[in-house]
A = this chain, B = another copy of it.
Amino acid sequence: MASEPHHVVIVGAGFGGLATARVLGNSPVRVTLVDRRNYHLFQPLLYQVATAVLSPSDIAEPIRRILSRYKNITVLMGEVTGIATEQREIQFAGRVLRYDTLVLATGATHSYFGHSEWERFAPGLKTLEDARRIRANILLALERAELETDPEVRRRLMTFAVIGGGPTGVEMAGSIAGLTHEALEREFRNIDPRRARILLVEAGSRILPQFPEDLSAYAERALVRLGVEISVGAPVNDINADGIQVGETFIPCGTIVWGAGVRASPVGDWLSRETDRAGHVSVNPDLSVPGFENIYVIGDAALAKDDKGTPLPGLAQVAQQQGYYLGRALLRRITKGEEPPPFRFHSRGNLAVIGRNAAVVEWNDVKLRGFLAWLVWGIAHVYLLVGFQNRLIVTLRWLYAYLTYRPGTRIIPDDRGGEAMAKPNEPRGT
């Protein structure tokens, strides 16, 4: 054995990277985890930050704290800008870091299908800053409507559009409906937030296409009951400061949220490897990148396939299982020289929440909907949250919001509020 222990560098502390690190914790390998943020983000609840139910820190836990018990793991904060595969080095924060094995778990960002100019008007929901921005947009639209005297402008300001009928879009639309139609009663004098118009726009033939048809149909009914208008079968052809073009119809909107497309982080560029259209890098059954025996890609940046050749979905549970698998596989390979078996994904079910007492759950042959599904969703998410204080506070905020109909974190950050209200006719964003 050489004197220097094997050095595993993990880039990204999402579900995948963190799982890998945990398995390698207190093992004979040396681990460095690099992330451009100092916290692990619990993305499944991001939409609740965007709709003022939770506070950013409730779903963010410092990476250092999570890994502090593992003496062999060093956490460094910095943004990776490139990889020199020949030298076995990553470039980040103006420095270089040598690796023996590299794990890339850098996730995904939004994709606007070639229309990057739409981002300005229709932010997506991937980071805490995105959530803070969407929360500010929603609350500012109502503040402006309260000030507005022109009824047409007021109607536009009180129209909220969510683009994309997947779980994120459904959760956002349901949550905006809860906020405007239930929580803000009696707080405004010139507008009635209960009359806010909330649109969910899906280009395909039904919302929640990942779920069986009867659960999609239930979700549609539940959303309509919450006061959400659903449009399916027509794509969004344009987005600008005034609204969205759905098929042939232009709909004036005050707030637009993008939940339609994602694109993998630039791992393909770093490795000079071809990717699919969404930027995913193809990986071998053991999650290594073809042509590199010591580089692995997991989670939303990877294109992994199941036994039938179907690509695995971009879910937290996929990334997490890949992370645990890869940690164990690396230990076997590095410490014992053994070849691990290929990765296999075991689905823990699909969940999507619609609103108060309404959710859908699918797990093998089990299908749940309504209150029971909602309860399962809530308990599962509190359980999966990282950090005891976060679990306690999220539970408390949910109980409070459930009993009073009042979400707890309705602040518009200074850096957006003042500026935006001073120029009420400018588009929000950037």
Contact = CB atoms under 8 A, between A and B. Distances in A.
Interface of A: 36-39, 55-58, 60, 62, 64-65, 68-69, 74-79, 93-95, 127-129, 139, 143, 146-147, 184, 186-190, 388-390, 392-393, 396-397, 400, 406, 408-415, 417-418, 421-424
Contacts of A58: 55
Chain multiplicity (copies): 2
A190 B77 CA distance: 13
Given A139-B38, A397-B389, A421-B36, A56 B93 contact: no
**8 closest Cβ contacts across the A-B interface?**
A57-B409, A64-B187, A129-B414, A77-B143, A55-B55, A55-B57, A74-B189, A68-B187
B94 A38 contact: no
Contacts of A414: 37, 127-129
Contact of A418 (B39, B79, B128, B388): B79
A401 to B, nearest CB: 9
Nearest to A387: B408
Contacts of A147: 76-78, 93, 95
A68 B404 CA distance: 14
A411 B57 contact: yes
Contacts of A146: 75-77
A36 B69 CA distance: 45
Interface-central residue, A143, A392, A396, A411, by most chain B CB under 10 Å:
A411
24 contacts: A36-B417, A37-B417, A38-B139, A39-B412, A55-B56, A55-B57, A56-B413, A57-B408, A57-B410, A57-B411, A60-B411, A64-B184, A74-B189, A77-B147, A77-B412, A78-B147, A78-B421, A78-B422, A93-B422, A128-B413, A388-B400, A389-B408, A393-B408, A396-B396
B410 A39 contact: yes
B190 A74 contact: yes
A409 B387 CA distance: 11
A56 B52 CA distance: 12
B38 A412 contact: yes
Given A39-B412, A55-B56, A187 B78 contact: no
